[in-house]
Structure 1
């Protein structure tokens, strides 16, 4: 699989977030990325995205299991499960993410879960 096609980039994203390799992770995103999570303010720009992963993300010590990936041109939808810790407690929940690409980078990401905050 080509490391630059949208599906490969998205699959790499989950590997990098689980490995806590935030420099490599942030490089997958456009400079003006927008990350939207229901009920929370959007994260805008690479610097804010890096700060979120390094300092503000309420989830840690976890892993993603990708169940389904659907690619439609420059949009990649993912359904999966996360297990790890949130605020020191063990958690496991399903998620759905939509990644929108522009110029080979993730320009916008939407996350949906049954959790109040991720």
Structure 2
């Protein structure tokens, strides 16, 4: 169900993120984010800006050859300071360096007030760095 002025479904937007990252389609993935995006992950400094996000996915991301499975997705329909927040719980299976990994994650995606892009993203895992 669309919850925004643009008619974009927040759940569909966030599910598209996981589909694109798993398919290594970084041009389309980066287009889901605002120009001034901020992304925080375990074991790394914050990623700020769309170009830094692109660089991260193309060359710096420690995870590779993997896929996300979304177990739960909840849209907080009460708009905070910015826009809606979408919370996701799931598992990632893939490779990190020479190691096969599988671990749980929780992600929070803060959308723009119009709901047409991801402005902030926070990832939490039980690993030191991902």
Band of TM-score, shorter chain = over 0.9
Work out which of the two has the higher radius of gyration on C-alpha atoms and give 1 or 2.
2
Q: Equivalents in 2 of 1:7, 1:111: separation in Å?
A: 17
CA RMSD across the alignment:
1.3
Unaligned runs of 5+ in 2: 78-83
TM-score by length of 2: 0.87
Q: Equivalents in 2 of 1:64, 1:95: separation in Å?
A: 9
**Runs of at least 4 residues of structure 1 off by over 3 A?**
none
* Structural mapping, 1:18-97, within 5 Å: 18-73=22-77, 74-97=84-107
More strand as a share of residues? 1
Q: Equivalents in 2 of 1:108, 1:21: separation in Å?
A: 20
Asked if the contact 2:42–2:127 (Cα under 8 Å) also holds between the matched residues in 1, the reply is no
TM-score by length of 1: 0.95
What's the offset of the Cα at 1:5?
Answer: 1.6
